[in-house]
Chain A
Amino acid sequence: MAVLSTKGLTVTFGGNRAVNALDLKVEPGQLVGLIGPNGAGKTTTIDAITGFVPSQGRIEFKGEEIGSLSSTARARKGVGRTWQSSELFDDLTVLENLQVASESVSVGGFLRDLVRPRNDDIDALISILDSLDLGGTQGQLPTELSHGQRKLVGVARALAAKPAVLCMDEPAAGLDTEESQELGKRIRALVDGGLPTLLIDHDMGLVLTICDYLYVLDFGQLIAEGTPAEIRADEKVITAYLGQSASTEAGA
């Protein structure tokens, strides 16, 4: 059974269909790519899955319909996500950013904290940071980090919530080729470590290299799906999207 799937997912903005009747699946152990030109509706799809835009159609997580839940509830169930622009909590240190995602709050806990604040075990969070090569940054503020590090903290924060599936929105945006390849390896390692992932990225080289399966969107419409090899060969994809860039990027 798919960890995450959509059936007929549709998002309308003022009469415009940003996403139209999209069916997609993320199977356990899979890294699924979602690609398409600018304005194709990729980010909107992730926003819809994670509850940040209202949508029609079904969204299932481990077979359960989650389309009516709030974004917070979906996150708590295990649908994690990262953001294109990291969207870190700039007032909090790196470690605190992770803590926000990992901790749960109760009334009793709040009252106890008022008298004597207590921190959950942070070793697990430190090891997440270490695994992403962010060791030693935990006391720093996000604004003190490099762009690449900020991106990784975004991933680390998503991981801190122990998601069952992760949606990543352009994690490689703004990184140079080398950083981007390094990131690709880490993402692959995460998936191989048991975290199924839905990945959006512009870096075709990256996506085509590391993904197991791909969906291609254009103007909100699914125009192709298949393995990277199938997509490379797909006529429609080439005309709609790869057309001009395939020669430069796919070869990289």
Chain B
Amino acid sequence: MKINRRSVGMLRSAAVLVAAGALVAACSSSSSSSSSTTSGSASSGGATKTATSFAQSNTLSLAYTGGKAGAANSSLSPITIGYVNQQFGNPSYPESTAGAALAVKYVNAQLGGVQGHPIKLSTCFVATEEDGQKCGTQFLNDSSVNVILTGAMTVGNASLYSVVDGKKPIIVGNGLTAADFTAKGAVTYMPGAPGVVEGMARYITSGGLGSVKSVAVVATTDAAATDSAKLLFTPILTAAGIKVTQVFISPTAQGADVQSAIKAAGGTTADVFVPITPVQGCISIYNALKSLNVTPKVLTTGLCFGTPLVKALGGTFPNGWYFGAYGVNYFMPYTSKVPASEQLAAYEAVVKQYNPAMEYTGFAGPTYGNVLTIAKIYNQLGTSATSAQLASSISGFTGPQWGIPGTPVACGKITALFPVICVGQMGIEQFKDGKWSAIADSYNNKMINAFAG
């Protein structure tokens, strides 16, 4: 039953299609509060990773940011990044802040800061729409802040963008709602949910899942999800002559409602079944399919990698499901042939070095990568870079983004509908018989061009 947790649940529904972070950085093990071991379920996840040493990670990271090895000089004036994140509210994404803080600590300790100057976060947390405006005003008025980075926000983001209004550049860490992908003067170095969803449609039409005549979609009822399904996913399939049936459920629908929705969409009989829901929805859908005693071909987003699902399944993933994401994941074996995979491994080494207990999955990784990118851009421009210079470098950044394999990075040129999105490639992986395998991603060099119609 679901009725209207939307009231608050809608906030979270965000997660919906979206959730850039989770898309890349599916959580393997870490638990909520107390403990976490990085090995956790990785073994049961089926992949064995080759560890990257801290020293190797320094080399890789220095190569990325263009900094000098060693610590920053703490007596020099700091470079301030305005950092906004949704925290202490419902929902909240504290792991993003942990990722940002880790990156700052690491850059200042090992990568020489920005030309010797330490970088520093000026943080502003949001829990309400009013807070977003407050943070925007605060950073606009603060002359030491020339670039703004967001963690993940489902509330307060619209008013933040409206206040900043392109006057200072914004890097959207993890886009969650419509506003994140349409904001003026903002960029995100990821394909975002729109890219992932559209890429999934293209993968189906390209015949990747065999001959498909009918597709069943169950998506959550928030505007972002509904619109994505309607504007991005369905048209591509319909144009290819595939019959699509969409049914919408509340973001927190469970049990009988989900079974009904799957049946109403024809999920039990269609060639491919596509759930587009946050992780709780994935659990419900997994359970509903089990109760219905059917095993359709399931293609879903990386949101379904989430920890609760893994826990609910006793440490594994739904067998045979295909997952659309950014084209790398923590479960695949590390390989030096894929830079993004190497970077993820380097990030994990940094986590192990400084803060092994932190929630390193979810939005933490992408935010970490964004701080490195800001350091890189500052290193190029120098410490006295103005907002305008930063804005032009940020929108002109050609990548590749740390930890994101998609190329090219070309802000404003990927899709007219979502000018914020700077990367148009996504990837698909499958979990089958206890093993992850590359279907069309960076590991087999078959990344999908999501927006290339």
**A–B in direct contact per CB < 8 Å:** no
- B residues near A (Cβ < 8 Å) are none
